[in-house]
Structures are given as structure tokens and as C-alpha cells.
Copies of this chain bind each other. A is one copy, B any other.
């Protein structure tokens, strides 16, 4: 990955963070906004929000057009992450709690506020003078599907079942890993890229190409998250996935492909 590509990602991520900081001021009720602020910014990085912005820019949209969707994606990721780490009694391999200061109740309630807050940002981002309502509603549908019963929650449930089967040990079944990467990070990044494309004014074909590109980017991220760079077989698979991802970008010849292609490399 070139210096340019890396600084492109960094500049989008910084813009999303600055946008979120403006949106979540420390205002009343402080008992909700203060932990919401902490939970929003303490979450491990996830490339889906930045990919959403990059997809919007690739198809000629302005960065600001995708900013609400990127913020919503980040908030939903942070909410899901916090709930995933809630200390519950029936988790076979409980993840370490990330917000011990607050206790389980706040870790349950505050993410329940972050999700509607994300939808509010999206709905308010509509600009009736620019005739964007249809695009915004489509993005709300896309995001709802990826976070709903056939999306993220299905993936988290499978992860839970695999944890139970596995008796609490590390995963080493390649097929299972691929399946989880597809259902969790794959779906999320596919949705993020498609949303960015829609908001940037892409046509249907461009949107679907970017959705597939996002899917492969997500699966790569899933592998890196799960097995790191240690396992050679997985690394081979990452190379294959990268080639599949980059192939989707061939549809965008003549456009600024270099910037968005960086997402197919681990960073």
C-alpha cells in the first residue's frame, strides 16, 4: 500500500471521528451522553465507515454526502461491540468487559440509545432541496438489513454457537472461519460500500460492483481479525480474496481507483 493510499484512509477516518465528536457533545442527560461518548470512541477500529465514504467519493459524490451513513455505521458497530462484551452468565467464552467503569446496566442501555441515534442522523441528513429522500431511505433499509435478524445478529448468534461447540478454544476450522468472516465482516463492508455508492449517486451496476468489492474487503478484514498473519493457509486465502476484490474495481476504469483499492490491503 502506498503512502498516498494510507493517508487517504487516515484522512477519511479522521473526518468521521471529528464529525462524531461534534454529534456527541457532553450534554444532558450526561449519565447517557458521557458513556455514549466513551463507548463511541473506545471501540477497536473498523474500516466499514471509511469504506462507505471512499465508495461515495469513487463514484463522484462529495465526502459530506456519506458522512451521516459513516457515522451511523460507526455507532452501530460500537453498540454491537459493547453488547458483545457484556458480561452474561451463559457465554461459554466470555469476552473481556471493555467498560468496567459503568457496570452491566449502562453497557446494556447506552448501546440501545446509540442505534436510534444513528438512524436519526441518517434521516436528518436528507436534503429535500436536492431530492435525496429516496437515497436516504434506501440506505436506511440497507443498514437495517445488515444489522437485523438476517444480518449481524445472525452472525453473532453463529459465533456464539461455534464458541459453544469449540468448548472455549481457539477456532481452527478454515470453513467455519470463512463462513463467519462472510456473514459478519463481509456483509457489513458490502453494505457500507453499497451505501456509499448510493449516496454518491452511483447507478445500479456500480452499486452492485462496489457491494461485491466491499464484501471481499470485509472477508479479508475478518481473516486478519481472527487469525492474524500467522497462518500461512489463511494468508494464501487473503491473497485470493484480494485479487477477487481488485477485479471488481476494474469496472471503474478512469476513475480514482487507487484510493479505494487500499481497503483490500490490511491496515
Contacts and interface: CB of A to CB of B under 8 A. Distances in A.
Interface of A: 29, 31-33, 36, 79-80, 83, 86-91, 103-106, 108-110, 112-117, 119-120, 122-124, 126, 128, 133-134, 136-138, 140-141, 143-145, 147-154, 156-157, 160-161
A136 B137 CA distance: 9
A128 B133 CA distance: 10
B124 A134 contact: no
Contacts of A116: 115, 143-145, 147-148, 151
Given A89-B104, A124-B141, 7 more contacts: A32-B150, A32-B153, A90-B103, A109-B160, A113-B148, A116-B147, A133-B134
A89 B90 contact: no
Contact of A88 (B108, B141, B149): B108
B144 A117 contact: yes
Given A104-B89, A133-B133, A153 B112 contact: yes
A146 to B, nearest CB: 8
A149 B26 CA distance: 12
A10 B44 CA distance: 48
Given A108-B108, A137-B137, A149 B115 contact: no
A161 B106 CA distance: 11
B157 A141 contact: no
Contacts of A80: 112
Contacts of A156: 109
Contact of A90 (B104, B110, B126, B154): B104
Nearest to A33: B149
Nearest to A138: B123
Given A83-B108, A87-B89, A157-B31, A120 B134 contact: no
A84 B117 CA distance: 19
Contact of A119 (B88, B104, B140): B140
Contacts of A115: 112, 115-116
Given A88-B108, A108-B88, A113 B31 contact: no
